[in-house]
């Protein structure tokens, strides 16, 4: 199997990468398996694709500077987030730091609370949902051939105020994806089994597009 180092320490992202790419012959691991103390670059780009490319190129540069005896076959990075229509596309590229930027905490749970707070301020009530979409951009560099690949995918849906489900991560427990013919799923990403979620999700779609190129 070929080895892909993903520029993240997020175990949930690594699991999703592995579940989709392992059947295609890729062993997925964190960049920290090679460089335990690798820093994370500032995400300064205005969009998901730019930040994914920035993180991937940074990881490749650090790996090469380390002059390790063994390197992965490829390095990948993703940038993803939630865009809510009524919030003007927020949290967008700031999805992972939504609460922190607002001064209301840090991490997934606080980010969800901040989203719910903003939605309530916009007039959303219990039992109702509003339009939203997840986006995922992935950038990969093949270290042996120097080739670079990228993909971008969206998953449209709706978000509500009440968390449902114990699976997934991030905003998954608030997000109801669209399924066939524009119908809204009656389950959140956090309530769906992994294979169903991958078929619908932004990251699943982006990884499938990427797999075709790889």
Residues serving a catalytic function are: 79
The one-character DSSP state at 178 is B
- Distance CA(152)–CA(133), nearest Å, equals 13
Strands 130-142 and 74-84: antiparallel
* Other beta carbons less than 10 A from residue 195's beta carbon: 10
Beta bridge partners of 76: 6, 140
Cis peptide before 70 (omega within 30 of 0): no
Which secondary-structure segment (H or E) carries 117? helix 108-121
């Amino acid at each position: 199997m070929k080895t892909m180092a993903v520029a993240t320490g997020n175990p949930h992202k690594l699991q999703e990468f592995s579940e989709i790419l392992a059947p295609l012959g890729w062993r997925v691991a964190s960049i920290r398996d090679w460089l335990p103390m690798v820093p994370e670059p500032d995400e300064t780009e205005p969009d998901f694709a730019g930040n994914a490319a920035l993180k991937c190129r940074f990881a490749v540069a650090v790996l090469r500077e380390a002059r390790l005896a063994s390197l992965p076959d490829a390095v990948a990075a993703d940038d993803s987030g939630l865009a809510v229509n009524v919030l003007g596309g927020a949290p967008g590229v700031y999805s992972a730091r939504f609460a922190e930027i607002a001064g209301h905490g840090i991490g997934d749970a606080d980010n969800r609370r901040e989203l719910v707070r903003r939605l309530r301020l916009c007039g959303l009530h219990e039992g109702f949902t509003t339009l939203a979409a997840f986006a995922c951009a992935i950038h990969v560099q093949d270290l042996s051939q120097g080739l670079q690949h990228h993909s971008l995918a969206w998953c449209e849906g709706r978000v509500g105020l009440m968390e449902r489900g114990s699976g997934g991560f991030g905003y998954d427990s608030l997000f109801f994806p669209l399924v066939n013919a524009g119908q809204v799923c009656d389950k959140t990403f956090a309530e769906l089994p992994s294979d169903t979620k991958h078929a619908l999700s932004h990251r699943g779609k982006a990884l499938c597009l990427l797999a075709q190129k790889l």
